[in-house]
Amino acid sequence: MNFTRWSARLPGTQRRAAARTEQTASPDRRGEGSVPAARAEQVTDEPPSVPAVDELRVREVLDRVPSLVALVHGPDHRIAYVNDAYTTAFGVRPLGERAREALPELDALGLFPLLDQVQRSGKPRTVKSRKAPDGRSYTFTCTPVAQGDGKGGIDGRGVLVFATDVTDHAEAAERLRASERRQRETAVTLQRSLLPQELEEPDDLRVAATYHPGGTEAAVGGDWYDVITLGGGRTALVIGDVMGRGVRAAAVMGQLRTAVRAYARLDLPPHEVLQLLDGLAAEIDANQIATCAYAVHDPNEGKLVYASAGHLPILVRDENGTVLRAEEPTGPPLGTGGWMHSSGSIPLGPGSTAVLYTDGLVERRDADLDEGIAALERALAGATGTPQVVCDRLVRSAGVTPDHDDDVAVLVLQHPARTGPDSELFRNAALELLGGVEAAPRARAFASGVLTSWRFPADLHDLGVLAASELVANSLQHGTPPMRLRLRRTDRRLIIEVTDGDDHLPRRRRAEPGDESGRGIAIVATIASNWGCRRTPGGGKAVWCEFALPRTQGT
């Protein structure tokens, strides 16, 4: 194979060859009186001239470059040329042989389909950073070339394979990827350690949650969830998402989650919890904002009371399969400041399932966010089973895979519809406290009758009556109408609660020996497993206490 027949068709070679021919054919036209040129053998101190690139044949140029070069021609890619660098890397290659047998390194790299494509299309193609059998990495560029027939026409097509050694770059990139993987693993570990290791188990709800970090190419974010039992049968449910990626987002998430748990213990309305979080988020990092939805479930009310700071709407599937969306109210994300949040509510009766989630479950780059939420609604409408089953089904329906490009957190809660013997373990009784001091003996008699009908043991019966009496006496002395005594039993505890119209919260204090009052709350705190108080949404307060039931009472 005459290489010059190919080189004559490489870009630019025709122009340079014509220029050299013209220079050779042009005679010396200097005048007669001119100084003759120095003889070639003249001794001189000047170094010998180096020929310009344009004066070199293509083969001479390619033989000198450090990159690997091979030229193949014809439909079966027969070897026309390999340069010195190529033979140094892979050994001598016989000319004229089929490349598939004579260039096994190209076959190992999967380049032959690319050679076919370049020859058919006449367009160059490049593949980046392929590791060759010699252990080094190369970027290959395959360029079509035409073989001249010596008469100005084209005798055939070939492909020039040009390989640049990028081993150092590839190794540096791999070190960078390894570092990023370690950082991501650190962030994921931190993220998971800051999430609840075990969800609290409310008496009246069944809950499940899941967290999926983004794929290996995405840094972990700041998604979180939590379940917080507030006492008195009430439960707080939280879902949040810190904007940003990496360890910093996970750390901010941990601070916000800790703060939510602290604020929840104050038993504040949802919008007041978000108001406190908003100020804290700005103090933690003014440039790091977060969305959050905070909801409270009270089994006596049959609804979720919630507030949202820029978060996606809660979805609730009722016992008939109808899905409701908690649209309003929604305020701006945490950390923006200057906004007064407000609370809303959505029904959550027996047989209902609610879903709280982050945007990674429903947001896609090629689809509108509302479409993702609508798809989630359809999936929830047909989702039945335990909360964990529902949780897994929603994640699968959203197409979340290990290489998903965003974090996903999902929290599912169910308010079971209890029937049969199970329903006997969940009972309620209430009494309106009318009149003056005469309401106290009526309350004691009511509590005694209810606890007797619930077949509590004598010691628990007596403690329950005493606690009800003290809470009612405290309300009659310091509260205002309307007043109500409510008793509730679950499979795990007895809850006694008294509400009235005064919003002054009682506190436990030490009564002096001569004091005639001030001992009621102290007595309740001493005999009960837990006690607390909170302001009610319509004004007024609720004071409650609870007793853990013996294990035989909870089954």
The residues of the chain scoring below 70 in pLDDT are 1-56, 147-155, 184, 187, 215-221, 510-518, 552-555
Give residue 147's identity as a one-letter amino acid code: Q
* Cα distance between residue 77 and residue 102, in whole Å: 10
Question: End-to-end CA distance of the chain, in Å?
Answer: 92
Please answer whether residues 470 and 523 qualify as being in contact, where contact means their C-beta atoms are separated by less than 8 angstroms.
Answer: yes
β 541-548/78-82 pair status: unpaired
Residue 354 is given by DSSP the state E
* Cα distance between residue 340 and residue 344, in whole Å: 13
C-alpha distance from residue 310 to each of 265, 283, 534 (Å) = 23, 18, 26
* Cα distance between residue 68 and residue 85, in whole Å: 5
* The predicted structure's pLDDT at residue 180: 75
Please answer whether residues 433 and 483 qualify as being in contact, where contact means their C-beta atoms are separated by less than 8 angstroms.
Answer: yes
Dihedral sign computed on CA atoms, order 93, 95, 100, 102: negative
Helix 458-478 with 439-453: angle, nearest 10 deg:
150
* Cα distance between residue 168 and residue 2, in whole Å: 36
β 330-331/290-298 pair status: unpaired
* The predicted structure's pLDDT at residue 27: 45
Q: Which among 334, 355, 346, 344 is positioned nearest to 274, based on CA atoms?
A: 334
202 exposure class (CB count in 10 Å sphere: 0-12, 13-18, 19+): buried
Task: Give strand pairing partners of 531.
Answer: 545
Please answer whether residues 136 and 66 qualify as being in contact, where contact means their C-beta atoms are separated by less than 8 angstroms.
Answer: no
Neighbouring CB atoms inside 10 A of 151's CB total: 6
Please answer whether residues 335 and 189 qualify as being in contact, where contact means their C-beta atoms are separated by less than 8 angstroms.
Answer: no
* The predicted structure's pLDDT at residue 189: 75
Q: What is the dihedral of CA 207, 342, 378, 404, to 10 degrees?
A: -70
* The predicted structure's pLDDT at residue 150: 56
Give residue 2's identity as a one-letter amino acid code: N
Q: What is the dihedral of CA 263, 265, 271, 275, to 10 degrees?
A: -10
Structure tokens at 78: 């027969």
Neighbouring residues of 122: CB distance < 8 A, sequence distance ≥ 6: 144, 157
Beta strands in 149-260 (DSSP E): 154-165, 206-212, 222-231, 234-242
* Cα distance between residue 81 and residue 374, in whole Å: 62
* The predicted structure's pLDDT at residue 470: 94
**Phi and psi, residue 364, nearest 5°:** -130, 150
- Residues composing the chain: 555
Helix 270-284 with 246-264: angle, nearest 10 deg:
140
Neighbouring CB atoms inside 10 A of 22's CB total: 9
Name the strands in the sheet holding 323-325, side by side, starting at the edge strand that comes first in the sequence: 206-212, 408-415, 352-357, 315-317, 323-325
* The predicted structure's pLDDT at residue 196: 83
> CA angle, corner 113, sides to 108 and 115, nearest 5?
100
103: Cα separation from own chain's centroid: 46
Please answer whether residues 147 and 158 qualify as being in contact, where contact means their C-beta atoms are separated by less than 8 angstroms.
Answer: yes
Neighbouring CB atoms inside 10 A of 233's CB total: 24
* Cα distance between residue 466 and residue 472, in whole Å: 10
> CA angle, corner 209, sides to 377 and 554, nearest 5?
110
367: Cα separation from own chain's centroid: 18
* The predicted structure's pLDDT at residue 379: 95
* The predicted structure's pLDDT at residue 42: 47
* The predicted structure's pLDDT at residue 310: 93
β 303-309/330-331 pair status: parallel
Structure tokens at 476: 């009659």
Dihedral sign computed on CA atoms, order 373, 328, 245, 390: negative
* Cα distance between residue 263 and residue 266, in whole Å: 5
Please answer whether residues 391 and 210 qualify as being in contact, where contact means their C-beta atoms are separated by less than 8 angstroms.
Answer: yes
